Structure 1
């Protein structure tokens, strides 16, 4: 199962009827991380009236939370959450800090303002797809390692960290259906000299 998240944090700002809306998007994987981001944003803007939030967690997006933080019920957190889910993003938290400008926006105006603030930040974000991949470590000589890495990169395999000693231990992230073709490729390039070690299957960022 694949899903999309953001590659890195995003900040955006908009002004609506003299109120300033500052949006922060960050990538998170747990509720604790999401709440830590919310607390940090709150501490960065102690004079702001509201720090509304929403987050979506998990590859299936099953964990969804939102908070109006003092705005009229349903006018902030829910539209923010809708902006995230409509964009198909998971493992992300949005915090919108509002500096009140003296003009009342009304329920409809607030709903549109909070949703559009998050939607604008989402539009600015660099998105990345994630999928389950099997970690495969290839142990081989230095000259063969360079050939394997070059060909693996050309074919779109995710390349991880390498360790160097008398030989190279290069990590790759391979889909389950590609393990056999990948090992055949490595065996061919190394003339059967490379050794394989399979690790855990986990979600990784996909290249491109």
Structure 2
């Protein structure tokens, strides 16, 4: 099932081109208002820079996209920055590239390359995850069935959240929505219909550095 690629934690990257510094700051955003606030923060932080160019995309289908050259020649900063974001497949992200002029003009091609590379460097230093629509569910089984269920879960793409051993064994898991029915069918067959299921909710989840993130 297709997921949604997002920035979980923003990052910063910097390149130097003919003594001009290009500092890219990446931030996850959920709305155009979030993006505008972030851009203003960066302009205040780097108030002494010649340019603070930006680009952002909002929505799971990139319903909103904006960019600004902030004084650079038209099409040499904002558009190349936006192209990098769109090309990366990311959603709900804003990037500001701050330029401290080094005294040497870079020309149109040089500016396009510098701003593009700065954004790529910023993204490389960010934590990017793919959040996938998943089902949170509980599986109820007797002690004779838990071994079979754990084997099935181990070779599946399910994430085990918890396992409680009482009169019965209760296993709570997260499984991609598109794999839910197939997993239930496999467990039913393996336990001769003795296992029971409770579907709790649908949610987006992702993994980053071994940590399970639920959105």
Change (3 A) 1:59 1:152: farther
Corresponding residue number in structure 1 for 2:137: 137
RMSD: 3.5
Gapped regions of structure 1 (runs ≥ 5): none
Listed as ranges, the gaps of 5+ residues in structure 2 are 211-215
Matched, 1:16 2:17: yes
Matched, 1:197 2:199: yes
Aligned-partner Cα distance in 2 for 1:117–1:5: 19
Change in CA separation of 1:94 and 1:165 when aligned onto 2, cut-off 3 Å? farther
- TM-score after normalising by structure 1: 0.76
Q: 1:169 to 1:156 in 2, by over 3 A?
A: closer
Matches within 5 A, 1:35-184: 35-133=36-134, 135-138=135-138, 140=140, 151-152=152-153, 154-159=155-160, 170-176=172-178, 178-184=179-185
**2-structure distance, mates of 1:97, 1:153:** 47
Secondary structure of the structure 2 residue equivalent to 1:47? coil
Residue in 1 that maps onto 2:28: 27
Q: Is the 8 A contact 1:68 1:77 kept in 2?
A: yes
Aligned length in residues:
204
SS in structure 1 at match of 2:91: coil
How many Å apart are 1:181 and its aligned residue? 2.5
More moved, 55-64 vs 147-156: 147-156
Deviation at 1:165, TM superposition (A): 11
Distance 1:190 1:70, change over 3 A: farther
Deviation at 1:186, TM superposition (A): 5.1
On the 8 A contact 1:145/1:170 being kept in 2, the answer is: no
TM-score, normalised by the number of residues in structure 2: 0.74
Select the structure of larger CA radius of gyration.
2
